[in-house]
Amino acid sequence: MFPQADQSSDTYEDCKATADWLLAQSAVRPSVGIVCGSGLGGLAAALKDQVAFDYKDVPNFPQSTGERRPRPRRPEPGRRLALGAVHGHAGRLVFGTLRGRSCVCMQGRFHLYEGYSVQKVTLPMRIFKLLGVDTVILTNAAGALNQDFKVGDIMILKDHINLPGLSGNHPLVGLNDERFGVRFPCMSDAYERELQQLALDVGQELGFGDFLKEGVYSVLGGPSFETVAESRMLAKLGADAVGMSTVHEVTVARHCGMRVFALSLITNRAVMDYDSPEKANHEEVLVVAKQRAEQVERLICTMVARMERRHNNNDDDDHDDHHDD
């Protein structure tokens, strides 16, 4: 039987109430939304004139859970549950400017393995839309399935395989609110090709060409890492990397009409051989993320700056055309 959509939350009115509350607390009107993956939360530190909110203080917002905490239960009216953060996820929403462009940054995201419904996991994307965000940048830590990939590579997502979604655990299951998007959104263009090319161009300029790749990302529910048989299956399906996030957020962001760019930091190689002594572990993920975090941050910061310049150039072109008339 397919999972049931969480209809008790995630409504347009709930999302709007949260967005209105955030807009009342900050003068920033973000056009870019950034989601930081495991160990990559330092990107939020690059924002200037910051206004930050702990997830627990934001109305209707989910919170990252600690490993020892059981499945979240609904709090009593007027009472919030105190939750610990998943190691590597800070649990803050940060508003500010990045290279002159207004942004909102999630330091830590939400996962199916924390016990939340896929609708709750993707709630921040709907709030982003109502905040005025038009472009979403997502990062994650992933395991390499492609044997040509190395630990420390940065993979630009060009497509994904949504295994939970194909089996019915999909963020758009249930009633569709046309104020967010259409009933049957297209996913063949889920990742903005212009932003992919911008990332490749910026990466070459920064000298990242040797470790900048493109590929297909496959999402699983977690929290266990993949078996050898599962890794082999995913590779045969055409996946280059595997992780436990991002795809659900991408789906909802595209449903809401936002442009999407996503990248994976390859922090480990999926075990594909029964005789291999390697074992995937979360500590290794965080170590590699820390080592490569500076390059990821430089890539995204430069992309945001370039996006701003392109936008301004377009505005200038429009102005010139109008003047010629």
SS3 156: strand
Active site residue 284: no
What CA–CA distance (Å, rounded) separates 13 from 234?
Answer: 39
Active site residue 282: yes
Of the candidates 85, 125, 141, 253, the residue annotated as catalytic is 141
Active site residue 38: yes
Token pair in block for residue 245: 């996030």
Of the candidates 155, 282, 297, 303, the residue annotated as catalytic is 282
Of the candidates 5, 87, 113, 176, the residue annotated as catalytic is 113
Of 121, 131, 126, 142, residue with least CA distance to 181 = 126
Task: Using the Cα atoms of residue 16, residue 43, residue 209 and residue 146 in order, give the sign of their dihedral.
Answer: negative
Of the candidates 190, 199, 235, 244, the residue annotated as catalytic is 244
Of the candidates 26, 46, 111, 303, the residue annotated as catalytic is 111
**Which distant-in-sequence residues (6+ apart) come within 8 Å of 177 by Cβ?**
11, 12
Are 92 and 108 in contact by the 8 Å Cβ rule? The answer is yes
Active site residue 255: no
**Tally of CA atoms within 13 A in the half-sphere of 257 that contains its CB:** 11
Active site residue 141: yes
Of the candidates 117, 162, 245, 264, the residue annotated as catalytic is 245
> Beta 48-54 vs 92-98: how paired, if at all?
antiparallel
Question: DSSP assignment, residue 55?
Answer: G
Token pair in block for residue 178: 């046309």
Question: DSSP assignment, residue 181?
Answer: -
Are 301 and 139 in contact by the 8 Å Cβ rule? The answer is no
Token pair in block for residue 196: 């992919």
Rounded to the nearest 10 degrees, what angle do helices 193-205 and 282-324 cross at? 110
Of the candidates 31, 38, 162, 264, the residue annotated as catalytic is 38
Task: Using the Cα atoms of residue 267, residue 272, residue 273 and residue 279 in order, give the sign of their dihedral.
Answer: positive
Of the candidates 31, 55, 89, 235, the residue annotated as catalytic is 89
Active site residue 117: no
Number of helices and strands in the chain (H, E)? 8, 9
Active site residue 114: yes
Active site residue 160: no
Of the candidates 114, 226, 249, 297, the residue annotated as catalytic is 114
Residues taking part in catalysis: 38, 89, 111, 113-114, 141, 244-245, 268, 282
